[in-house]
């Protein structure tokens, strides 16, 4: 019997701790759908200022008048009227894990968040469904003037700062799902790093969606003042249910002069999730934004972090890996707008597809008129593990000046039989050889992460590769 005939394909991969479901114990819910009543209920529940309610209602109006996007993934089965916009867990926010309800704390224990906080993190925020349940900053960092709050608390304590930055990089009318986000956003992070402060330990926010048929719409604002430096980590996961869920968060990053922000994200959503997140950074002169991205698990992902290089000599680096298995459509990449002279950007994107999964790399490199001495490079590599899977590269380059050095390189291929044979001659099985080659393929991403998260990324890859058993 041939190797191909002996192979068994597993429909649903056991994702371990990520698929453990908690009983839903909601304190408050808006019910299904999005309408004016739902939006007002959310705003009233959070006791928001009038300007925020006005913003929400503008978002609702914009969402209702815009058609569903047709240029990428098939979103025809995503019905917002079948999704709960706001679900408040039966828990109050605390800075002590012992005050978090046991069933929620156990979930974050399984995900390793409290342990990571003790060992490697300078601050942790944990959101469960629509609300943050835990938030704490290291006392030493707090003493340096760093502000790390859930964004709803920040709105109450620093209303003018939040108003200045909220949905300024991501306008309400940017696209249909930025409008939806504006209407029903809940939870998220506010991080402020004062001028000259260099944070040694990463700060992490983790977003866990537990409830079925629910949406998660957290909002993140990070402000890194001149000469400051910080590494922020975003973690996301959800258990698998049979009905659709949606994640349409928004991330707005402001990087000052000579400042540096590394934004690492590992998204391990379930395969009933539509991940329609929007992330954008504005970088001042000599500033640096570094994106590290790992995208796994969702049914559909449409995610393109954007860097706006507005200051001279500012830089953007994007390093990402995505994985598409059976029934998954992952459309990811990045956008860079060179709005100032002497700016540079570098893109390194990798994707893996198997069992009929579809990975797209989609990017935009744009240089504005009058801008000079720009350098931009994009490199994307796609690895297909069988003859059923798909991978496409869709780069867009818009250049309005001739004083530029810009390039794009793409490669798509399969694992070399010679490489597998070579490793098998040295004692590895065929599956072990494939896993080793794939780990080497994603090594540029894993080496950029703290050890614990590099281990998690490798474990996620191994879980996905268990889809075929020889």
Q: From CA 166, how far away is CA 251, in angstroms rounded?
A: 10
Specify burial of residue 410 (Cβ count, 10 A radius: 0-12, 13-18, 19+): middle
Q: Is 229 helix (H, G, I), strand (E, B) or coil?
A: strand
| Sign of the dihedral through C-alpha 74, 79, 80, 83 | negative
Give backbone dihedrals phi and psi of 440, rounded to 5 degrees, phi first: -65, -35
Can you give the pLDDT at residue 10? 35
Can you give the pLDDT at residue 383? 87
Neighbours of 66 (CB within 10 A): 15
Can you give the pLDDT at residue 192? 98
DSSP state letters, 352-372 = EE-TT-EEEEEEEEEE-TT--
**Per-residue pLDDT for the chain (470 aa), expressed as one digit of tens each?**
333 333 333 344 445 566 666 677 888 999 999 999 999 999 999 999 999 999 999 999 999 999 999 999 999 999 999 999 999 999 999 999 999 999 999 989 888 889 888 888 999 999 999 999 999 999 999 999 999 999 999 999 999 999 999 999 999 999 999 999 999 999 999 999 999 999 999 999 999 998 888 899 999 999 999 999 999 999 888 887 778 899 999 999 999 999 999 999 988 888 889 999 999 999 999 999 999 998 877 899 999 999 999 999 999 999 998 889 889 999 999 999 999 999 999 999 989 888 899 999 999 999 999 999 999 999 888 888 888 889 998 999 999 888 889 888 888 777 778 888 888 888 888 878 887 888 788 787 777 766 666 666 676 666 666 644 33
- CA atoms within 13 Å, Cβ hemisphere of 184: 30
Evaluate whether 361 touches 332 at the Cβ level (below 8 Å).
yes
Can you give the pLDDT at residue 1? 36
Q: From CA 281, how far away is CA 278, in angstroms rounded?
A: 11
Helical (H) or strand (E) element with 409: strand 404-414
Can you give the pLDDT at residue 21? 63
Question: What's the Cα-to-Cα distance from 197 to each of 57, 189, 223, 259, 314, rounded to whole Å?
Answer: 38, 19, 12, 9, 19
Beta strands 8-9; 468-469: pairing state = antiparallel
Can you give the pLDDT at residue 242? 73
Q: From CA 26, how far away is CA 211, in angstroms rounded?
A: 9
Q: From CA 223, how far away is CA 186, in angstroms rounded?
A: 19
Can you give the pLDDT at residue 19? 60
Helical (H) or strand (E) element with 408: strand 404-414
Evaluate whether 397 touches 410 at the Cβ level (below 8 Å).
no
């Amino acid at each position: 019997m041939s190797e191909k005939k002996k192979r068994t394909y597993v429909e649903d991969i056991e994702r371990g701790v990520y698929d453990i479901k908690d009983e839903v114990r909601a304190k408050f819910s808006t019910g299904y759908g999005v309408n004016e009543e739902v939006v007002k209920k959310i705003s009233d529940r959070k006791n928001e200022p009038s300007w925020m309610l006005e913003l929400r209602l503008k978002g609702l109006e914009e969402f209702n008048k815009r058609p569903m996007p047709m240029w990428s993934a098939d979103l025809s089965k995503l019905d917002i009227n079948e999704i709960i916009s706001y679900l408040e867990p039966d828990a109050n926010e605390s800075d002590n894990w012992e005050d978090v309800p046991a069933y929620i704390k156990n979930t974050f224990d399984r995900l390793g968040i409290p342990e990571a906080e003790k060992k490697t993190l300078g601050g942790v925020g944990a959101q469960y469904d629509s609300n943050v349940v835990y938030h704490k900053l290291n006392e030493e960092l707090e003493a340096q003037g760093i502000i790390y709050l859930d964004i709803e608390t920040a709105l109450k304590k620093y209303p003018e700062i939040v108003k200045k930055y909220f949905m300024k990089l991501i306008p309400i009318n940017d696209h249909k799902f930025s409008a939806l986000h504006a209407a029903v956003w809940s939870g998220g992070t506010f991080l402020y790093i004062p001028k000259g402060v260099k944070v040694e330990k990463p700060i992490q926010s983790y977003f866990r969606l537990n409830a079925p048929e629910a949406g998660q719409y957290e909002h993140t604002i990070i402000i890194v003042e001149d000469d400051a430096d910080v590494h922020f980590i975003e973690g996301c996961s959800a258990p698998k249910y049979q009905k659709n869920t949606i994640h349409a968060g928004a991330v707005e990053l402001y990087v000052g002069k000579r400042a540096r922000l590394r934004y690492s994200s590992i998204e391990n959503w379930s395969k009933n999730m539509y991940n329609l997140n929007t992330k954008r950074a504005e970088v001042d002169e000599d500033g640096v934004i570094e994106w590290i991205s790992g995208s796994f698990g969702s049914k559909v992902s449409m995610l393109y972090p954007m860097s706006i290089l507005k200051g001279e000599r500012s830089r953007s680096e994007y390093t990402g890996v995505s994985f598409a298995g059976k029934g998954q459509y992952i459309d990811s990449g990045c956008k860079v707008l060179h709005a100032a002279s002497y700016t540079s950007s570098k893109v390194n994107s990798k994707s893996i597809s198997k069992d009929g999964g579809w990975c797209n790399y989609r990017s935009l490199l744009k240089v504005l008129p009058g801008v000079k001495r720009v350098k931009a490079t994009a490199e994307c590599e796609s690895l297909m593990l069988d003859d059923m899977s798909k991978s496409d590269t869709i780069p867009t380059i818009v250049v309005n000046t001739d004083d530029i050095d810009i390039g794009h390189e793409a490669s798509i291929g399969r694992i070399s039989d010679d490489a597998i044979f070579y490793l098998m001659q040295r004692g590895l099985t065929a599956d072990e050889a494939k896993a080793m080659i794939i780990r080497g393929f994603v090594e540029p991403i894993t080496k950029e992460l703290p050890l614990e998260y590099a281990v998690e990324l490798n474990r996620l890859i191994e879980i996905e590769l268990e889809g075929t058993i020889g």
